[in-house]
Amino acid sequence: MNVMARSETEQALVQTARRVLPAGGFGNFASDIILREGRGGRVWDVSGNEYVDYLLGSGPMFIGHGHPEVIAAVQAQIPLGTTFFANNEHGIRLAEEIVEALPCAEQVRFVSSGSEADMYALRVARAFRRRDRILKFEGGYHGMSDWGLMSLAPKHLANFPNAVPDSAGIPKSVREEVLVAPFNDLETARSLIAEHHDELGAIIVEPFQRLIPPAPGFLQGLRDIATQYGIPLIFDEVVTGFRFAYGGAQTYYGVTPDLCTLGKIIGGGFALAAIAGRADIMAHFDRGIVGDDGFLMQVGTLSGNPVAAVAGLATMEVLRRPGAYEGVFETGRTMMREMAAMLAKAGVPAQVIGEPPLFDVVFTAEAVRDYRGTLRADAAVQKHVNQHLRASGILKGDSKYYISLAHDARDVAQTLEAFQAALATLPGRG
């Protein structure tokens, strides 16, 4: 294991951050590392330490950091204007591309973050349905709104369908507006929806929940019961949109929602997200169609920002090329296969779960089908391995390897070598 040296400059920045930022950071990744630069599938910190980057800015950098075509598009746009608070050609072209790519998308409304996209998707569904309650799935992440932060990662498990707030400051009344079901349990979801269908304004789900793929028939079952009762089905594709396939998880898994939310990849590393879906639901953003009573007001200073839009368009151009997704999937499959083999050989009770573009190792021998399954994992072992990986020049989040087009054989080899070494440091092994 190589211990990363920290320069005086980086140490001073960490101390400054602790003084001027709550908890010393932006609320995202660990605050004891200050990144300076990213190129391709790698990043460097202020001290000059180099890492294979599986964090990828929490996913947006799907084609790699500093892609020359994205940089060229952004550099061409910046002298022409960085924001207008008005329609611009690039935003319109990006919306057109999304409509052509995604099965559910007839119209698009831009915002600046995935949290906004999820919040407005729920709101527009409630406006359309004229019902207040939503159904979500325990462990599903749908942004930072009060509704999104119900039963994301509850410390105290409640009986379904009771919701548990994950943050201070959420009004108690929100609990009554959110019903919670276990992911991949179609029978429980069907029962709850049937019982509460006349109260529900929306069903929202990550088609691939954090790291957990949908069980066969689960998404289609949700689609069927949502259709039966006329409840809008929302796929949160902020993570999976354009990552699993050019048409998102809805294309990859073959199930079409009524609405979806997008972010990360569509902005090419800049602040841009979107709600996309059926025109009759999206009409609630248009006062001229639905009138004052049905109108959903939505404005955002940077919505459809031209710099983000050109970055997104350039990213999508790269993704449309032959072999783009095949390469990502091959990289991910190789890593998943080799890690699983190492775990088996070492006799470590663990499994590799996810899909090739997005996966991780979960240190439990038991099947993981939902949030409560993840709680059976050995968090101490996970933390130990992640720390060893980072000290060996592998940067990843607590629970994800994001794979990019830029990751190459050298990156994979370094990662697998570091993972093998990390396993050897576990108690009782050497």
First to last CA, the chain: 13
How many other CB atoms sit within 10 Å of the CB of residue 279? 11
Among residues 53, 236, 258, 370, which one is catalytic?
236
Residue 226 is encoded by which pair of tokens? 């949502």
Q: b vs e for 86-111, b when ≥16 Cβ sit within 10 Å of the residue's Cβ?
A: eebebbeebbebbeebbebbebbbbb
With the C-alpha atoms ordered 81, 85, 88, 92, is the resulting torsion angle positive or negative?
A: positive
Order of strands, sheet of 233-237, starting from the edge strand that comes earlier in the sequence: 107-111, 273-277, 259-262, 233-237, 200-205, 133-137, 178-181
Catalytic residue among 51, 120, 141, 401: 141
Q: Which residue has the tokens 């003084």?
A: 19
Check: CB of residue 43 under 8 Å from CB of residue 51.
yes
Q: Is 198 a catalytic residue?
A: no
Verify whether residue 345 is a known catalytic residue. no
Q: Tell me the C-alpha to C-alpha distance, in Å, between residue 240 and each of 229, 248, 324, 380.
A: 27, 6, 16, 28
Angle at 373 between CA 372 and CA 378, to 5 degrees: 105
CA triplet 100, 106, 112: central angle to 5 degrees?
85
Reported as type and span, the H/E element at residue 352 is strand 351-355
CB atoms within 10 A of CB 244: 24
Q: Cα separations (Å) of 183 from 214, 215, 237, 345?
A: 8, 9, 16, 31
CB proximity list for 27: less than 8 A, separation 6 or greater? none
Can you list the positions of beta strands (E) in 84-228? 107-111, 133-137, 178-181, 200-205
Residue 226 identity: A
- CA gap 20, 7 in Å, rounded: 20
**Active-site residue, selected from the candidate residues 264, 325, 371, 401:** 264
Tell me whether residue 292 is one of the annotated catalytic residues: no
Any idea of the CA torsion for 31, 328, 62, 57, to the nearest 10 degrees? Answer: 0
Q: Which residues are catalytic?
A: 141, 236, 264
